[in-house]
Amino acid sequence: MLKQRIITAVILALLFLGVLFNLPTLAFAVVVAAVVAIAAWEWANMGGLTAQWQRCLYALVVTAVIALSAEYTGFIAAGELSLEPTRNLLLVACTWWAVALLWVQGYPSSAVLWGNKVIKAVMGLLVLMPTWLAIVFLRDQPLGQWLIVLVVLVVACADIGAYFSGKRFGKRKLAAQVSPAKSWEGFWGGFACCVLLAVVVGFGFGGGWMVLAIVVPAGLASVLGDLLESMVKRQRGIKDSSQLLPGHGGVLDRVDSITAAAPVFALAVLLTGWEAV
């Protein structure tokens, strides 16, 4: 199993870097939309839409919403995202994640608010479309490839810091009803790793302390992305979003943290005007 996980991880990393650094923005946006469509197919099952036609239809709906957002932001007409409509959509996305935080904190009681299929379908739209928008927005910036790499590093730091500090010091449960393995000690370990990353990037590549305002909120949001998917899967009674990736589960199991971190990171970059130099 470990060998399989490693092989899959290496292949995914090479594909990710190849697409990120070799495709122009438009082609990159199409590839990301395709990945999001696969994630939507998985989300449909998590949300209780189990028939294949329902899952495929939901993936098409999410793709259509992505196309509408591309039109609204001017990406289809101009090949780049206009700042004001992009900011508006990212603000909506971040507001949604604030609501998601309350639902995660209130689980399982909160399931009465979101547990039906329609609400979970809407949740999926609010999770997936902004992920596409945020990643394409970052890719469209100067040094955009490296901004996306930084998002991945933020998520990795939050995850690795949480794992080791939680394993060593973890006692108090972070969200016992959602993800029993996560602890507050792990959360703060991940937070510390994100702060360290922000300091290294800010003073090594430009931006100084302002980078803290970008990296740290994104790192904290990544935890929420993980918890939200865990909550929906737990309510559905499944362990993985799918079995598409040998040893890793599904696409959503790999990008759940990024679905929350990327919109927060992108909005912070947009509002601060930060560019790594």
Q: Is residue 125 part of a domain?
A: yes
Banded pLDDT at 277 (limits 50, 70, 90): very low
Answer whether 106's CB lies under 8 Å from 178's CB.
no
What average pLDDT does the structure give for the chain?
94
For residue 275, pLDDT over 80 is answered with no
**CA-derived radius of gyration, the chain:** 18
Predicted confidence (pLDDT) per residue in 241-261, tens digit: 998 888 778 999 999 999 999
Query: CA 71, 75, 12: angle at the middle one, nearest 5?
Result: 110
Residue 276 has pLDDT above 60, yes or no: no
Residue 170 has pLDDT above 90, yes or no: no
- As a whole number, mean pLDDT of residues 225-237 equals 96
Burial of 205 per CB tally in 10 Å (0-12, 13-18, 19+): middle
pLDDT-derived band at 2, boundaries 50, 70, 90: low
Q: How far apart are CA 51 and CA 54, in angstroms?
A: 5
In a domain, 18, yes or no: yes
Query: What is the number of domains present in the chain?
Result: 1
Report the alpha-carbon distance of residue 27 to residue 37 in Å, rounded: 15
HEC sequence for 99-149? HHHHHHHHCCCCHHHHCCHHHHHHHHHHHHHHHHHHHHHHHCCCCHHHHHH
Running DSSP on this structure, what letter comes out for residue 249? B
pTM (2 d.p.): 0.95
Q: Which tokens belong to 16? A: 């990710």
CA distance 84 to 149: 24
The verdict on residue 277 lying in a domain is: no
CA separation for the pair 44, 82 (Å, rounded): 30
Label residue 1 exposed, middle or buried (CB < 10 Å: 0-12, 13-18, 19+). Answer: exposed
CB atoms within 10 A of CB 215: 29
pLDDT cut 90: percent of the chain above it: 86
Q: Which residue range forms the structural domain that includes residue 173?
A: 2-272
The reply to whether 202 falls in a domain is yes
